[in-house]
Amino acid sequence: LEKTHPDPAALIVDEAATIERLVNQWMFLARPDPPRKTEVALADLLDQTARLLTPAAQHARVRIVVDADRTDHLQADAHRLCQVFHNVILNAIQAMSTGGTLTITARGHVVSFADTGPGFSRTALARWAQMLYSEKEGGMGIGLSMAQEVVRAHGGRLTVANRPEGGALVRIEL
């Protein structure tokens, strides 16, 4: 199928990966195993996740800029961190309905996701970590809750805020 119909085949692979991520998130929430840590390059994980979401970003007219220190390595569960990054990036893309820019900065073991969207509502700022809370139509409300649990399991901290100049800021300290 990939040789004769590459576009539909790529779509099938992407959708299967989406389903796998959702199932993995639900399984993590139901049975949170400790992270399986290995040495990972933070910049590579961010690049990989941004590449995966490039089609969605292009469709939404969102530009993703990754500015990561290429020398940063840490002990982490690469698969779970990719899930966290995927959720945060996808949320930012979906929040910028008229297009915009998502800037991802990684220095030391701190990753910041700053977008040019409308930012978080007051209610979302107060309730973002609550399971099953979502302001998005069709949203399940597990993305940021799961992200927070994964970051905590790594001994880190996830915070959300609105940027003074507008847009949302999600900060992950690992």
Instruction: Collect all residues with Cβ–Cβ distance below 8 Å to 16 and sequence separation of at least 6.
Output: none
Residue 101 has a pLDDT of 98
Residue 145 has a pLDDT of 81
Burial category of 30 from C-beta neighbours within 10 Å (exposed 0-12, middle 13-18, buried 19 and up): exposed
Give the pTM: 0.79
Residue 68 has a pLDDT of 96
Query: Tens of pLDDT along 104-153?
Result: 999 999 999 999 999 988 988 887 776 655 666 655 556 788 888 889 98
- Of 104, 4, 7, 118, the residue nearest 55 (C-alpha): 7
Pull the structure tokens for residue 107: 């220095």
Can you list the positions of beta strands (E) in 42-136?
62-68, 73-76, 100-107, 110-115
Residues of the chain with pLDDT below 50 are: none
Residue 73 has a pLDDT of 94
Residue 139 has a pLDDT of 58
Question: For the chain, how far is it from start to end, CA to CA, in angstroms?
Answer: 41
Residue 136 has a pLDDT of 66
Structural contact between residues 160 and 135, judged by C-beta atoms closer than 8 angstroms: no
Residue 7 has a pLDDT of 82
